[in-house]
A and B are shown apart, each in its own frame.
Chain A
Amino acid sequence: MVEESGRPIQIQRYSAQEMLFNSLNFLLFFIIVYSAYRVLPHRGQNYLLLIASYYFYACWDWRFLGLIWLSTLVDFLCGLKIHNAVSQSQRRLFLTISVGVNLGVLAFFKYFNFFMENLQALATSAGWQLDDVTLNIILPMGISFYTFQTMSYTIDIYRKRLEPTRHFGDFALFVAFFPQLVAGPIERAARLLPQVAKERVITRKQLSDGLWLVFFGFFLKVFVADNLAEVANAAFDPSAQVSGDVALMGVYAFAFQIFGDFAGYSGIAIGLSKLMGFELMTNFRFPYLVTNPSDFWKHWHISLSSWLRDYLYIPLGGSRGGNFSLYRNLILTMLLGGLWHGAAWTFVIWGAYQGGILIVHRMLKPHLDKITFSGLGGSAWWLLRVIFMFQVICVGWLFFRAQSVEQIGLMLSSILSMSSISSVAIFYAMQIVFFTWVLLLLQIMQIRRDDLLATQKLSAGRKAVLFAGMFFLMATWGEYGGQEFIYFQF
């Protein structure tokens, strides 16, 4: 884990070819697990899932299983202790232990080098010389996801919103459930634990919805995200000085890449869980068809944004206490949300930007609400706001995807000083259109019916055309290079 000291920050990435959802290895793994799952009784199913989950994680890096076990053990015991504590101070003590262990592990593996490096830079600028104490640390897969998930368990017990489970195996499965272990959705114990504990009945609807979600998730990953990765990678290549028009296309491509990648992963996770009788929370709705930042966060990475709302923003005071505290709480929440994604100033800037646009929206909301149109005018006004909001979101994606603060500056200035459109940018633009049109059509259908599973309600003939068409697009134009999911690195 800690391999060598005295080296500059170096967060290593996994080769990650082993257990990607979009790999044959995973397909084989799931077929074996699922076949056994369907014939086992409830308790046997839970033990099977637990072993399978640990095996799934060990395929990435078995050394970090110890961290999952540590989180599991500490939070299981702390949960019981908090519940059984006789005094408030005892309750607080065990909550502190739980949160401390989780955040301590997270801080060490994710933020230690970032902190030390910046401390050193600060000291140097003040004229002091500090020894180099950065470490060569490998970021454990999914650590940000499962630590947040287990922390919510003890916090909810502390708040007396949840009874602790007495079954260690059930709790271990809640922490390590393989479909959502490495990239979410970040589940709440109140929702997932009862499903673990209770005997599950797999309905026909769950099977059909689950299969559709897995299929659609694959489509988002291999057709949308991995194809657009090529455009985004070219535009964000720090060694290449790209023109403003290409940079702009790169940002648009990344907007759809990250959506396809992460929503695709979440869809597959939710779909696989449905096939096993579990209901996970929705993680994405139609985030690019919203008209303001507040709605964006109700549609994007919902499991994280609601976690931050419930365990950070509201405890900080939320919207109570006047405008200043509201703005402060928004900024703090989004800054930490940015840092959750990674230890880099680009994420801090992204978080601050998200906080900033939320504040601006709060300020403008009373005025914007007064502007109303009816009929076609209303639709045009909605579309105008959606397009504007998409640009606002894309500025954020530039901060998020950039390799450094310098690159943010370079790309922003090249986009703002753009004077012509090159043939490369036109080619990229057409690629973006080609690889996103199906997604956009489906999202429009979903938003019109306000139903993420709207396609399931189509007639058999229409559904067949949709399935066959998507299958054809996926098989012929899909990228099957085994590209890692972006959120694995968080």
Chain B
Amino acid sequence: MRYLANLATQLPWSFYLQFFAWLALLLALFLIVRKKKISGRSVIYAVIGVLVLRLFLFGNPFSWTVYSYLLNLDDVGLWNRAILYRERFRYMERPENVQYLAVGSSQVEAMFGEYDRMDEGNRLVVFSLPGMKPMSYVLYREHIASYKPKTVILYLSEFGFGRAPKYGQWKMAPAQGLYTWRLYSLVKDGLGDESFGSEFSQMVVGNWFPEYKYKFVFRSLLDKVLGKQEAVNARKLSDIPESEWFDMSLENFKNLTDKYIGFHLRFLEEFIRFCQDEKIDVVIVEGDYHPSGYSEENLELNKVVRQELMTLANDYGHVKFVPRKAAYEVKAEHFRDGTHVKAAAGLEFTRKLLGYMERSGSQGQDQEMVHSLR
């Protein structure tokens, strides 16, 4: 309760204004319909009821705080847990004077998170979602721009480009409005014949019906109330030992493919163009992972992806590519599992990277470094 009270004081006044304006509007509509005895009143009342319910269940950070308090990692899983946090902080004011915004998957959180937590001046802030790939940069573009960063840092490698887009995550993205059409053509052209219609439809429906979009909250709550986990004796995520996480994460390196590179690049370029319009610089840091994942195939894939990223950096003046090991070399002992570095290594990496960028600037290519890679 104390947390909720604190939260109430931290929220910007614009949130309360918007919230109560909606309530007043719906109340006014209700009173007008009742007074005028308009036909089909029951349906209009029902719509008003649904909209009021939406405000209280999804349209405020208090409910999201309650959900994230009630539902832990074992109840909802990694991705949905991140969504609960995202929704909870969506209404908060963004930190001011953000110079760098590191955007990406949990790898980004591991690499830059510690610096973000220690950095009181908000020089660098992290926005990450588990498994975030270039398509999600585009889906969350407005959210990213709302931080008003000078530079966006992306942490990309064959590890992300070599895996299929996560269709299930599309639904959870913010509503896209008219941009949905553009998104449709990007997905359609990018995936060719592959079936994506069902997931795309889910995203569109989710845009209009938050009850559907966030159904995992209520399903998880129901399962929790009914004791599903105990009944079916499901293994809890939190019970998995670190060594097993490590082994599981190594599995991720086994099936990297060049099949989806074009798809991811298409979205990365879209995001880069968006940043150009928003006057945000983009730094693409070539990501790394545990050396036990450096198979011959993966190293071949690395060359392809690196070449594509360098090409993008050459094509767009506001994009800089920082190759792996240019600023700081991450070694096997720095990893806590196959893909995530330990906090201390992340902190060191971030410091070195920011120093490197300050020396070489966040635009244009470090020609010497790029040349040595060719």
Beta-carbon contacts under 8 Å, B41-77 to A: 41-50, 53
> B46 — which chain A residues lie within 8 A by C-beta?
463-465, 467-468, 471
- A472-B50, A477-B219 given. 19 additional CB < 8 A pairs? A24-B201, A423-B227, A423-B231, A424-B232, A427-B226, A427-B227, A427-B231, A427-B232, A458-B42, A460-B42, A461-B45, A467-B42, A468-B46, A468-B49, A472-B211, A475-B212, A476-B219, A478-B215, A480-B202
> A424 — which chain B residues lie within 8 A by C-beta?
231-232
> B22 — which chain A residues lie within 8 A by C-beta?
none
Task: Closest A residue to B46 by CB, please name it.
Answer: A467
Asked whether B13 is an interface residue with its Cβ less than 8 Å from the other chain, the reply is no
Ordered by A's residue number, 8 sampled pairs between the chains whose C-beta atoms are within 8 Å are A427-B226, A427-B227, A430-B226, A431-B226, A464-B43, A464-B46, A467-B42, A477-B219
Check B49 against A476 for contact (C-beta < 8 Å).
Answer: no
Per the bound structure, the CA–CA distance linking A431 and B42 in Å amounts to 30
> A465 — which chain B residues lie within 8 A by C-beta?
46, 49
Smallest Cβ distance from A420 to chain B, in angstroms? Answer: 14
> A472 — which chain B residues lie within 8 A by C-beta?
50, 53, 211
Q: 1/0 contact trace for A426-463 toward B, CB 8 Å?
A: 11001100100000000000000000000000101101
Asked whether A169 is an interface residue with its Cβ less than 8 Å from the other chain, the reply is no
Asked whether B228 is an interface residue with its Cβ less than 8 Å from the other chain, the reply is yes
> B228 — which chain A residues lie within 8 A by C-beta?
427
Asked whether A142 is an interface residue with its Cβ less than 8 Å from the other chain, the reply is no
Check A468 against B50 for contact (C-beta < 8 Å).
Answer: yes
Most B Cβ at <10 Å: residue of A434, A460, A480: A460
Most B Cβ at <10 Å: residue of A24, A431, A468, A477: A468
Check B231 against A475 for contact (C-beta < 8 Å).
Answer: no
> A480 — which chain B residues lie within 8 A by C-beta?
202, 212
> B47 — which chain A residues lie within 8 A by C-beta?
468
Per the bound structure, the CA–CA distance linking A477 and B219 in Å amounts to 6
Asked whether A356 is an interface residue with its Cβ less than 8 Å from the other chain, the reply is no
Check A467 against B43 for contact (C-beta < 8 Å).
Answer: yes
Interface size class of B (residues with CB under 8 A): 20 to 34
Check B226 against A464 for contact (C-beta < 8 Å).
Answer: no
Smallest Cβ distance from B29 to chain A, in angstroms? Answer: 13
Asked whether B167 is an interface residue with its Cβ less than 8 Å from the other chain, the reply is no
B interface with A by C-beta (< 8 Å): 40-50, 53, 198, 201-202, 205, 209, 211-212, 214-215, 217-219, 222, 226-228, 230-232
Known: A461-B45, A471-B46, A482-B198. A477 touches B230 (CB 8 A): no
A interface with B by C-beta (< 8 Å): 17, 24, 208, 423-424, 426-427, 430-431, 434, 458, 460-461, 463-465, 467-468, 471-472, 475-478, 480, 482
Check A475 against B215 for contact (C-beta < 8 Å).
Answer: yes
Quick one: which of B41, B202, B232 contacts A460, CB cutoff 8 A? B41
> B49 — which chain A residues lie within 8 A by C-beta?
464-465, 467-468
Check A468 against B41 for contact (C-beta < 8 Å).
Answer: no
> B201 — which chain A residues lie within 8 A by C-beta?
24
Task: Closest B residue to A455 by CB, please name it.
Answer: B42
> B53 — which chain A residues lie within 8 A by C-beta?
468, 472
Smallest Cβ distance from A437 to chain B, in angstroms? Answer: 13
Interface pairs A-B: 4 shortest CB-CB: A464-B45, A475-B211, A427-B231, A463-B42
Smallest Cβ distance from B52 to chain A, in angstroms? Answer: 9
Task: Closest A residue to B229 by CB, please name it.
Answer: A427
> A458 — which chain B residues lie within 8 A by C-beta?
42
Q: Is the interface of A mostly helix, strand, loop or mixed?
A: helix
Smallest Cβ distance from A144 to chain B, in angstroms? Answer: 29
Per the bound structure, the CA–CA distance linking A227 and B107 in Å amounts to 36
Per the bound structure, the CA–CA distance linking A275 and B9 in Å amounts to 52
Most B Cβ at <10 Å: residue of A17, A423, A475, A477: A475
> B227 — which chain A residues lie within 8 A by C-beta?
423, 426-427
Per the bound structure, the CA–CA distance linking A480 and B230 in Å amounts to 26
Task: Closest B residue to A427 by CB, please name it.
Answer: B231
> B222 — which chain A residues lie within 8 A by C-beta?
434, 477
Check A471 against B41 for contact (C-beta < 8 Å).
Answer: no
Per the bound structure, the CA–CA distance linking A467 and B40 in Å amounts to 12
Task: Closest B residue to A469 by CB, please name it.
Answer: B49
Per the bound structure, the CA–CA distance linking A471 and B208 in Å amounts to 14
Check A464 against B219 for contact (C-beta < 8 Å).
Answer: no
Smallest Cβ distance from A16 to chain B, in angstroms? Answer: 13
> A482 — which chain B residues lie within 8 A by C-beta?
198
Task: Closest A residue to B209 by CB, please name it.
Answer: A475
Per the bound structure, the CA–CA distance linking A464 and B43 in Å amounts to 6
Smallest Cβ distance from A240 to chain B, in angstroms? Answer: 13
Smallest Cβ distance from B206 to chain A, in angstroms? Answer: 10
Smallest Cβ distance from B257 to chain A, in angstroms? Answer: 26
> A434 — which chain B residues lie within 8 A by C-beta?
222, 226
> A478 — which chain B residues lie within 8 A by C-beta?
212, 215
Per the bound structure, the CA–CA distance linking A390 and B217 in Å amounts to 34
Check A477 against B198 for contact (C-beta < 8 Å).
Answer: no
Most B Cβ at <10 Å: residue of A434, A458, A476, A478: A476
Known: A464-B45, A467-B42. A477 touches B231 (CB 8 A): no
Smallest Cβ distance from B202 to chain A, in angstroms? Answer: 8
Task: Closest B residue to A423 by CB, please name it.
Answer: B231
> A17 — which chain B residues lie within 8 A by C-beta?
198
> A471 — which chain B residues lie within 8 A by C-beta?
46, 50, 211
Check A464 against B211 for contact (C-beta < 8 Å).
Answer: no
Smallest Cβ distance from B218 to chain A, in angstroms? Answer: 4
Task: Closest A residue to B52 by CB, please name it.
Answer: A468
> B41 — which chain A residues lie within 8 A by C-beta?
460, 464
> A477 — which chain B residues lie within 8 A by C-beta?
215, 218-219, 222
> A460 — which chain B residues lie within 8 A by C-beta?
41-42, 45
Task: Closest B residue to A456 by CB, please name it.
Answer: B42
Smallest Cβ distance from B124 to chain A, in angstroms? Answer: 38
Smallest Cβ distance from A288 to chain B, in angstroms? Answer: 23
Task: Closest B residue to A482 by CB, please name it.
Answer: B198
Smallest Cβ distance from A139 to chain B, in angstroms? Answer: 25
Smallest Cβ distance from A224 to chain B, in angstroms? Answer: 15
Smallest Cβ distance from A301 to chain B, in angstroms? Answer: 31
Smallest Cβ distance from B298 to chain A, in angstroms? Answer: 35
> B214 — which chain A residues lie within 8 A by C-beta?
476
Smallest Cβ distance from A142 to chain B, in angstroms? Answer: 24
Per the bound structure, the CA–CA distance linking A477 and B231 in Å amounts to 20
Task: Closest B residue to A429 by CB, please name it.
Answer: B226
Check A476 against B218 for contact (C-beta < 8 Å).
Answer: yes
> A463 — which chain B residues lie within 8 A by C-beta?
42, 45-46
Per the bound structure, the CA–CA distance linking A468 and B46 in Å amounts to 5
Smallest Cβ distance from A160 to chain B, in angstroms? Answer: 46
Check B42 against A464 for contact (C-beta < 8 Å).
Answer: yes
Smallest Cβ distance from B265 to chain A, in angstroms? Answer: 29
> A426 — which chain B residues lie within 8 A by C-beta?
227, 231
Per the bound structure, the CA–CA distance linking A482 and B205 in Å amounts to 14
